[in-house]
Structure 1
Amino acid sequence: MAMWGGRFQEASLEEFRAFNDSLSFDYLLAQQDIACSRAWAGGLLEGGIITADEAKALDRALAELADEVTANPQLPLATSEEDIHSWVELKLGDKIGVIAKKLHTGRSRNDLVATDLRLWSRLNAQLVQQALTGAIGALLNFARLHHGAVMPGFTHLQRAQPVLVSHWALAYVEMFRRDLSRIDDALKRLDSCPLGSGALAGTGVAMDRQALAQRLGFSQAARNSLDAVSDRDYVVELSACASICLTHLSRLSEDVIFFCSGEAGFFKLGDAISSGSSLMPQKKNPDVFELLRGKTGRVLGHLVAILHILKGLPLAYNKDMQEDKQGFFDLMSTWQQCLLVLATCLPHLSVNVDRCRKAAELGYSNATDLADYLVSKGIAFRDAHELSGELVLKAAAKQVALEQLSLAELQEVSALISEDVYPALTIEAGMAKRSALGGTCPVQVGQALSAAEAWFETLA
């Protein structure tokens, strides 16, 4: 049943209907559409548009319909209605007859869908927040479990300086904390109700829109009807939040994939989160982290798509905006699923402590510590940097570590070097010196981990 049939004398082409109709995906908004209709019916009663008996009949029928959709979320797909709004109206007509025709008084599908989508976005953003909180908790547990382990840190994918495994995990905790704050910010700007804006110029019935907004859990009614029906900033903003968060998740996945490789061997995948090869019996593949990395590309694509849909639209509503949903629904679902998968998989990831430490000792990762040692002897850092580089060349030529050079060999480069250089070149000494806020010193990282755990407890 089309909601606009009076103007037309001929039926729509089937090809047009298939191209135009949106029930196949906007059925996901059924509960939100019903909630909006219940709130609208209350507003019509307050405005004297319908009687108390009619309001009760509408509310009762809508509540029944909500229960039916809860029991079978795909119930709307059993019909051939144009969209979720016409489906709700059809089902109301089946239940209470002509009274159902009064419900749409003073409203449009434009303000209705805008409100439906905001309600759906708010609910699903909150579900993502819960999943993201779970992922942060899993990372904190991983950091605590492996707090004492040392691993090589990398720049340009080359060994740089030793860091704690917990320091690595806390780096991603920081990223995900920013992601949480971005969702919070997006939800604040989403907190405005379009219902009552009509098609574009506002409703023509007496309606307390502020009371209507509060009935639906919004703090305020949208201030401008033209903006309200055509605003999809919240879709863009949540899509951007998802893209940033999934980019963080993809970077983490890339790290794990490399760390689990035979060439690195720092981490080990548990059997429960690994897959094998159909040909090569020895393989143990990190498919789950590769999928997390791959799904990020899909989410980024959805962000670009919604921006392209909106970029050339004049005010107010345009049918292009029907294309805001399929990608966005998939994006929000994928975002939540990826975070839930990460939280599930991290407990099955172990650390090869010995392999990590041996790797951290390679690649002359203590060359900076040697330069710092020379600075402590009164040499300017730029000169100390050059001298340390010369000693790296000397050690590399002999295929030994810096600390394996004899004192005489070290003093060939600088006479200021003495026996106390050897304790300064140990991993423990190097990390202990990184004691400023944010560094990888075990004491500093322990404090950062405890602070993050205390913050995490406040989220419960």
Structure 2
Amino acid sequence: MRTLAHPHHTLLPSLPRQRRSFATGATKRRCWSPAAVAMAADLRTEHDKKVDKENKLWGGRFEDSVTDAVERFSESVSFDKQLYKHDIRGSRAHASMLAKQGLISDSDRNCILSGLDEIERQIENGEFVWRTDREDVHMNIEAALTDLIGEPAKKLHTARSRNDQVVTDLRLWCRDAIDQILSCLKQLQVAIVMLAIENEGLIVPGYTHLQRAQPVLLQHLLLSYVEQLERDSSRLVNCKDRLNICPLGACALAGTGLPIDRFMTSDALGFAAPMKNSIDAVSDRDFVLEFLAANSITAIHLSRLGEEWVMWASEEFGFLTPSDKVSTGSSIMPQKKNPDPMELVRGKSARVVGDLVTLLVLCKGLPQAYNRDLQEDKEPLFDSVKTIIGMLEVTTEFAQNITFYRERIQKALPAGHLDATTLADYLVKKGVPFRTSHDIVGRSVALCIAKNCQLSDLTLGDMQSISPAFEGDVYEFLGVENSVEKFCSYGSTGSGMVAEQLSAWISKLGI
């Protein structure tokens, strides 16, 4: 029986055959049909592709390559390639340390550093070919370095594992991302403070339970957002301090028996110190969870701001008008002008919170040390950062392109008896217990409702019929302007207090 002449023919699956018999004396011989020969050629081609697959950097003990499906499912280079700068930076520090410790020669180090420079140049110029069969950013760069400089590149992974390498890259990336978000937070704070400066003296209704409560200066309300953003910044600064420790040198989980200097690489990469426990070094993703938690709180703050401004832009409120630059129209209703950017800010907060939940669920069941599950930490992290930066940028632009409608706001102020609490404070100053004052003012409001008027419209006789504690000076406490001026506690909406707060923010933000 004929067999196909191929060095790996024993690995080929059996082929469908058509038998042809030729009489040659007492024997018959068989041959392959043209269709079978063609199929065999196709199978040989496919098999050659598998044989020719590049051996994995970890593939020494393996006889077969992973299947295409596993390769597609396992690769992360399609999203983790954005870590390339941090991966190259870590490799530079590691190579320099290995040379100092005598684990590689100075010549090898110089060759590695030159090769890394060239790879970085290729990536930034769009010349680098990212290969999914090389799995991730780390193996792509290391394999490319080997292609470029040969044998010295094989020494770079001395006393290093992908386990400590990836988490080092991730900490470096998070550190840079936090700096970028901090810058965006400050820009939004500046935009809101500028809005406050432009709207000096404007009084707006303050709400609790979405019901009118007390009059407040618009500046005071705007500065409340600035305070929230400052806490967001503080959380990120604290997160950055905690993540700024170096896992490099922890290797797979146990460290190494080679004489490396972890303090040298930590210093070179700008970390405060090496991580103390090698198992914790490769296991820890607390810093990612904390980062995404901080982003989630920021997203909630932006969503609340978006909700308020969307409501205020409605016809029912009419308190603010966004410019055409930050508005959209309707495809069917030609009169519409929608504050879509802030609606999207409100909506995208769900993504950021979802990214945090993804990471929490990812980490909840993992045993200590590295598990491949942790490859899934990057996409939610990258998405959270990208989304929160977009939310901050568009909110800043929206703040720079809105106008508060003074006339509409002032017309709306009389409704709701916003000066009622100030009237209760007046009675307290007259020696009336607060609970009694509360009851007296409640009855005064009921009288106003019956007479369809404001508290300031009641005559002194009307008020004294409810309580003799009312005197002629009561009218100095009535009306939203008088009410606002009576606030004097630290942090209150009184004009003096707000002016101090505003001045402090102008100084802090360098406006």
* TM-score interval, normalised by the smaller of the two chains: over 0.9
Which shows bigger deviation, 166-175 or 90-99? 90-99
Structure 2: which 5+ runs fail to align? 1-53
What SS does the aligned partner of 1:206 have? Answer: coil
- Could you say which residue in structure 2 is the equivalent of 1:389? 442
Q: Distance in 2 between matches of 1:233 and 1:200?
A: 17
Is 2:236 aligned against 1:191? no
Matched, 1:65 2:65: no
Question: 1:71 and 1:176 mapped to 2: Cα distance?
Answer: 37
Change over 3 Å in CA distance of 1:76–1:241 after alignment to 2: farther
For 2:222, which of 169, 183, 189 is the aligned residue? 169
Q: Does 1:42 align with 2:96?
A: yes
CA contact (8 A) 2:75 2:133 kept: no
* Percent identical residues: 43
Q: 1 CA distance for matches of 2:469 and 2:262?
A: 79
- Equivalents in 1 of 2:450, 2:504: separation in Å? 45
DSSP 3-state at the match of 2:134: coil
For residues 336 and 186 of structure 2, the distance between their equivalents in structure 1, rounded to whole angstroms, comes to: 33
SS of corresponding position for 2:493: coil
User: Hey, what does 1:419 align to over in structure 2?
Assistant: 472
Check if 1:18 corresponds to 2:79.
Answer: no
Which residue of 1 is the match for residue 163 of structure 2?
Answer: 110
Q: Which has the higher contact order (CA 8 A, sep 6+)?
A: 1
Q: How far apart are the structure 2 equivalents of 1:106 and 1:373?
A: 75
Q: CA deviation at 1:76?
A: 4.8
**Does the 8 Å CA contact 1:151/1:163 hold for their aligned counterparts?**
yes
Aligned-pair CA distance for 1:371: 1.5
Q: Is the 8 A contact 1:23 1:76 kept in 2?
A: no
User: Quick one: distance in 1 between partners of 2:178 and 2:102?
Assistant: 36
**Does the 8 Å CA contact 1:27/1:76 hold for their aligned counterparts?**
no
For 2:290, what is the secondary structure of its paired residue?
helix
Residue by residue over 1:21-76, the C-alpha shift from the partner in whole angstroms, topping out at 9 and shown as x without a partner, is 1111111111111111111111111121211111111000101111222233x945
Code of the residue aligned with 1:236 in structure 2: it is L
1:258-407 equivalence runs, <5 A: 258-407=311-460
Deviation per residue, 1:342-401 (Å, 9 max, x gap): 222211011111222232321011111222222233322111111111111111122211
Once residues 241 and 431 of structure 1 are traced to their aligned partners in structure 2, the CA distance between those partners, rounded to angstroms, is 35
- Residues in 1 aligned to 2:158 and 2:469: alpha-carbon distance in whole angstroms: 90
In structure 2, the partner of 1:447 is 500
Query: Secondary structure in 2 aligned to 1:160?
Result: strand
- Quick check: 1-10 or 303-312, which moved more? 1-10
Matched, 1:93 2:146: yes
User: Per-residue deviation at 1:280?
Assistant: 1.1
**Residue identity in the other structure for 1:92:** L
Count of aligned pairs: 457
Q: Quick one: distance in 1 between partners of 2:145 and 2:203?
A: 65
**AA of the residue aligned to 2:64:** E
Per the TM alignment, residue 78 of structure 1 is displaced from its structure 2 partner at its CA by 5.6
Q: Quote the RMSD (CA, aligned, Å).
A: 1.4
Q: Distance in 1 between matches of 2:474 and 2:459?
A: 11
Which residue of the partner structure matches residue 134 of structure 1? Answer: 187
Q: Map 1:236-247; keep pairs closer than 5 Å.
A: 236-247=289-300
Q: Which runs of 5+ in 1 are unaligned?
A: none
Give the equivalent residue in structure 1 for 2:83. Answer: 29
Q: Which residue of 1 aligns with 2:109?
A: 55
Match of 2:267 in 1: 214
Paired AA for residue 366 in structure 1 = D
Determine the C-alpha separation between the residues in 1 that align with 2:409 and 2:400.
Answer: 19
Matched, 1:157 2:210: yes
Instruction: Give the counterpart letter for 2:381 in structure 1.
Output: F
Please say if residues 131 and 140 of structure 2, whose CA atoms lie closer than 8 Å, have aligned partners that are also in contact.
no
Instruction: Determine if contact 1:152/1:159 at 8 Å carries over to the other structure.
Output: yes
The one-character-per-residue Cα deviations of 1:77-119 (angstroms, maximum 9, x if unpaired) are: 4654211111001211221112211111121000000101011
Question: Which residue is equivalent to 2:308?
Answer: 255
C-alpha distance in 2, partners of 1:78/1:9? 21
- TM-score, reference length from structure 1: 0.97
Provide the rounded CA distance (Å) in 1 between the counterparts of 2:489 and 2:160. Answer: 60
Task: Decide whether the 8 Å contact of 1:76 with 1:84 is kept in 2.
Answer: no
What amino acid is the match of 2:106? Answer: A
In the alignment, structure 1 residue 429 sits paired with structure 2 residue 482: yes
- 2:160 partner amino acid: R
What does the per-residue CA deviation read over 1:214-256, in whole Å, with 9 as the maximum and x for residues that have no partner? 1111121111100001111110111011011111111111111
Q: Distance in 1 between matches of 2:251 and 2:125?
A: 31
Q: Which runs of 4+ in 1 moved over 6 A?
A: none
Higher radius of gyration, 1 or 2: 2
Aligned to 2:234: 181
Q: Is the 8 A contact 2:130 2:140 kept in 1?
A: no
Q: Does the C-alpha gap of structure 1 residues 454 and 76 become closer, same or farther in structure 2, counting only changes over 3 Å?
A: farther
Q: Distance in 2 between matches of 1:51 and 1:376?
A: 84
Secondary structure in 2 matching 1:154: strand
Contact 2:203 2:216 in 1 (8 A): yes
Q: Which whole-Å deviations, capped at 9, do the CAs of 1:298-325 have from their partners, x for residues lacking one?
A: 1001111111111111110001100100
Q: In structure 2, what is the Cα distance between the partners aligned to 1:454 and 1:370?
A: 36
Whole-angstrom CA distance in 1 between matches of 2:417 and 2:389? 42
